[in-house]
Structure 1
C-alpha cells in the first residue's frame, strides 16, 4: 500500500486541486439525473408528453422520440447545472486558495499526497451559518485512491485543527445524491441536524435536498 501524507496546501498544488474538485463533482451527474427522474414533476411531464402525442399522432414512434429527446435534454440540463457550480467555485474560493484559506484566521487547506502525487483535498474555515464552529469544505479523493482511509484521515485532520483552536464543533453540508459522503461522515461521528431544499428555483422544483451535519467535539472529548 502506498504511503499517504496529509500536508498543508502549497501554491504548486493549485491545478491538481482544481482537477480533483472538478472530477469529483462531475461524478455526481448520473445520480443527480436519476434523482430528477424520480421526482413527481418530471414523471408528470413525461406522462403528459407521451399521452398528448400518442393521442394526436396515433403512433408510438413520435411520443417515444419526444420522450427520448426530453430525457436527453434533462440530462444536459443536469450537466449544465453542475458545470455552472464548478465554474463558480473555481472562480471564487479555489481561484486563490491561499487568500481564501491559508492566510485567513482559523482557516486551512490540506492535501493528501501519495508517492508525491496529490490525491485528495479538504479545507475548513469559520462557518457563516453556524457561529462559533468551523465548516469542513472541499472534501474530495481521487477515485483511484478511495478505500484507503484517505477521506477519514482528512476528516480527522479538520477535527484536530478545529479542536486545537478551541471551537466546539465542525459543520458541513452535503446533498441528497452524495450518499457515499453521507456514510463517511456518519462513520466519523457526524450527526445530521438539518435537511433543507437548496434555495434556487430549479432545486425547489426538483426537490434537491441539502443536509447539514455536525461533529460535536466537546462530546467526543467527554467520551475520550
Structure 2
C-alpha cells in the first residue's frame, strides 16, 4: 500500500529526472518497468529465502519443534482427504504465553471457516494448558487475516514498519525494493 502511494507521487518526478539526465525517451519510458522488475525480483528472492529458512528449521522437523515439547502442538485441517490448512502452537515458559505460529490455509479453501476453526483449536489448547495469553506475529498484507485474528479476540499490540524476515540479507537493494510490516497481536486469557 505504502509502495503504491510513494510510486504515484514519485513516478512523475522519476520520469522528469530520467529524461532530464538522459535525454532519452526510450529510457524514460522503460524506467518504470525496470523498477517494477527489480521490485518483483527482490520480493521473490526474499520470500523464497524465507520459505527456505522455514523449511530448514521448524517445518523440517515438526515433531521436534511442536509435538514433543510439552505445551506445544501442531494441527492439520483435512477436507475430503486433502490437507487444506495448518497451524502450530509453541509454548513459551518465560512469560507463560502460547505463540500461534504457521497458520496457513490453501488459497482454494479460504473463506470456508477453516482458519477460524484452526485458531479456535489453538485457543482451546491454550486454555486447557493454563496459558495466561496467546500471542502471534504476522506479516499478512490481506486485511482478512487481521480481521480473522480480531474476530478470535486478539488485539493488536504493536507494529514494526520495516521488519526483517528470516533469511533476508538486508542488502541495500533488498531494503530499497522490499519492505514489510510486522504486526503483533495478543489475546489475554487470564491474569497470572
Q: 1:173 & 1:81 partners in 2: Cα distance?
A: 18
Cα RMSD (Å): 2.6
Q: 1:94 & 1:115 partners in 2: Cα distance?
A: 24
Counterpart of 2:53 in structure 1 is 88
Gapped runs of 5+ residues in structure 1? 1-33, 220-224
Sort the Cα spacing of 1:66 and 1:75 in 2 relative to 1 into closer, same or farther, 3 A.
same
Instruction: Indicate yes or no: 2:116 matched with 1:144.
Output: no
Shift of residue 74, structure 1, vs aligned partner: 1.2
TM-score, with normalisation over the residues of structure 2? Answer: 0.83
Sort the Cα spacing of 1:203 and 1:66 in 2 relative to 1 into closer, same or farther, 3 A.
closer
Verify the 8 A CA contact 1:108 1:125 in the aligned structure 2.
yes
Sort the Cα spacing of 1:143 and 1:110 in 2 relative to 1 into closer, same or farther, 3 A.
same
Sort the Cα spacing of 1:35 and 1:90 in 2 relative to 1 into closer, same or farther, 3 A.
farther
* 1:144-176 CA-partner distances (Å, limit 9, x unpaired): 212221111101100000100110111001126
TM-score, with normalisation over the residues of structure 1? Answer: 0.72
Instruction: Indicate yes or no: 2:8 matched with 1:36.
Output: no
SS in 1 for 2:58: coil
Counterpart of 1:70 in structure 2 is 35
How many residue pairs are counted as aligned between the two chains?
A: 183
Counterpart of 2:181 in structure 1 is 209
Verify the 8 A CA contact 2:86 2:118 in the aligned structure 1.
yes
Verify the 8 A CA contact 1:122 1:154 in the aligned structure 2.
yes
Shift of residue 66, structure 1, vs aligned partner: 2.2
Counterpart of 2:99 in structure 1 is 135
Sort the Cα spacing of 1:141 and 1:199 in 2 relative to 1 into closer, same or farther, 3 A.
closer
Larger helix percent: 1
Instruction: Indicate yes or no: 2:126 matched with 1:162.
Output: yes
SS in 1 for 2:60: coil
Q: 1:79 & 1:87 partners in 2: Cα distance?
A: 12
* 1:12-71 CA-partner distances (Å, limit 9, x unpaired): xxxxxxxxxxxxxxxxxxxxxx5534347x964x55643333013434322111221121
SS in 2 for 1:38: helix
Gapped runs of 5+ residues in structure 2? 165-169
